[in-house]
Amino acid sequence: RTLLFVAGTRPEVIKLAPLIMALEGHPQFSCVVCASAQHRDLLDAAFAGFGIVPDIDLDIMRAHQTPLGVVAGVLAALEPVLAHHRPVALIVQGDTATAFAAAQAGAYARVPVVHVEAGLRSGDDNEPFPEEFHRRAIAQFAALHFAPTPSARVALLAEGIAADRIHVSGNTGIDALHATAAALARAPAVTALLDSEFAMLGPARRLLLLTIHRRENHGARLASVIAAVRLLAQSDALDIVVPVHPHPAVSAAVQCGLGGVAGVHLVPPLDYPAFIHLLQRAALVLTDSGGVQEEAPAFGVPVLVLRETTERPEGIAAGVARLVGTDTTAIVAGVRALLDAAAAHQRMARASLPYGDGHAAERIVAVLTREYGGKVLVKSA
């Protein structure tokens, strides 16, 4: 019985890898992993980091691609894959154009669609666009919904999804985080090497980690964030590390606005373990990333979210994340206030795990086995 996984971007791989690995050697299932390559370089690096070699590569990335172009490419390329493999279920994660298109393709092929990280809602129909629209649409195609948190389950129920189709599993991203943090803790030689790569960070200076990539932040909002970073770099004893997202709208503006600024270190996208290591060292995170909002609380690192809304309210309720938006003055004030607070309290509450306990994949495998595993034939003596 084949389970077909489709992933197109870095976070999809990070969040599907724990599930693919938990299914290794499963008596009833064999996994077929399909890369859409929506983001070629980040996707390949993420797969390699988990030692996963995709069985199929749709290779749909094009220069200047649009979300609609990605959707059209995945829909066309996936039809023969589904016809050939006839999977018992097609598994997608999150809210990308790849996940949205793959879910549609599965629905047309009458293959049950399984949605991992279901039920996230920003509460705003139009933002983030097109992710919010993708999530809502995937919920309509999906046969099984793995909600990371109870509030995600409530959102699905409110949209009329049957209660017995929803399972609260925790977020598989937290499984990946725990496994990676544990592996780093067991490998002092690796962390020493990583630290040597970041030797430019002063031990007495506090580390601010910045990631920004979302479509709605391209343009004026990104310029406003860059202005805040320039101010913070001038006036505070901070090291600001920015793994620069390769999207041209991001990388061009960041290189131009922050390149050569003292205290600001622009680096290429980091391997997942290197990023997690740096995250553990950070005093504060500024981000518009979904995954990073989930990861930072696990280390008690406070997060300022560079957005007006979030589909991840749990971190805010737990007091580890705050929506700051993209206004320059608000960001500078928010960073200073948090650094003062963090200095007073050392770190925020460490035991903040609003997104999962690291066992999401096990729960999902149990449900998949029940739903799609078929009967196990036990030979009588």
Catalytic residue set: 95, 117, 131, 213, 215, 245
Which of 6, 10, 331, 353 touches ligand UDP (CB under 6 A)? Answer: 10
Per-residue mark of binding to ligand UDP, 13-52 (x: CB under 6 A): -x--------------------------------------
Does 67 help bind ligand UDP (rule: CB under 6 A)?
no
User: Of 9-17, 25-33, 312-320, 346-354, which segment contacts ligand UDP by CB under 6 A?
Assistant: 9-17
User: Of 192-200, 224-232, 264-272, 345-353, which segment contacts ligand UDP by CB under 6 A?
Assistant: 264-272
Does 291 help bind ligand UDP (rule: CB under 6 A)?
yes
Q: What b-and-e string marks burial along 153-162, b requiring 16 or more CB atoms within 10 Å of the CB?
A: bebbeeeebe
Does 106 help bind ligand UDP (rule: CB under 6 A)?
no
Which structure tokens are listed for 81?
A: 């894959």
Does 7 help bind ligand UDP (rule: CB under 6 A)?
no
Does 211 help bind ligand UDP (rule: CB under 6 A)?
yes
For 113, the 3-state DSSP assignment is strand
User: Of 70-78, 106-114, 287-295, 300-308, which segment contacts ligand UDP by CB under 6 A?
Assistant: 287-295
Angle 240-244-247 from CA coordinates, rounded to 5°: 155
Contact 148, 353 (CB under 8 A): no
* Helix residue ranges per DSSP H, 50-200: 67-85, 97-108, 131-141, 150-158, 172-185, 188-197
Does 148 help bind ligand UDP (rule: CB under 6 A)?
no
Which of 8, 269, 297, 302 touches ligand UDP (CB under 6 A)? Answer: 269
Which structure tokens are listed for 273?
A: 């373990």
Does 11 help bind ligand UDP (rule: CB under 6 A)?
yes
Contact 44, 38 (CB under 8 A): no
Please report how close the Cβ of residue 142 comes to ligand UDP at its closest, in angstroms: 19
- Cα-based torsion angle of the residue sequence 107, 108, 111, 112 in order, rounded to the nearest 10 degrees: 10
Nearer of residues 105 and 176 to ligand UDP, judged by Cβ: 176
Nearer of residues 85 and 115 to ligand UDP, judged by Cβ: 115
Contact 170, 146 (CB under 8 A): no
Restricting to residues 219-248, which ones interact with ligand UDP according to CB under 6 A? 243
Integer Cα distance of 127 and 129 in angstroms: 5
Q: What b-and-e string marks burial along 250-286, b requiring 16 or more CB atoms within 10 Å of the CB?
A: bbebbeebbeeeebbebeebbebbbbbbbbbbbbbbb
- Contact positions toward ligand UDP, by CB under 6 A? 10-11, 14, 173, 211, 213, 243, 269-270, 272, 275, 289-292, 295
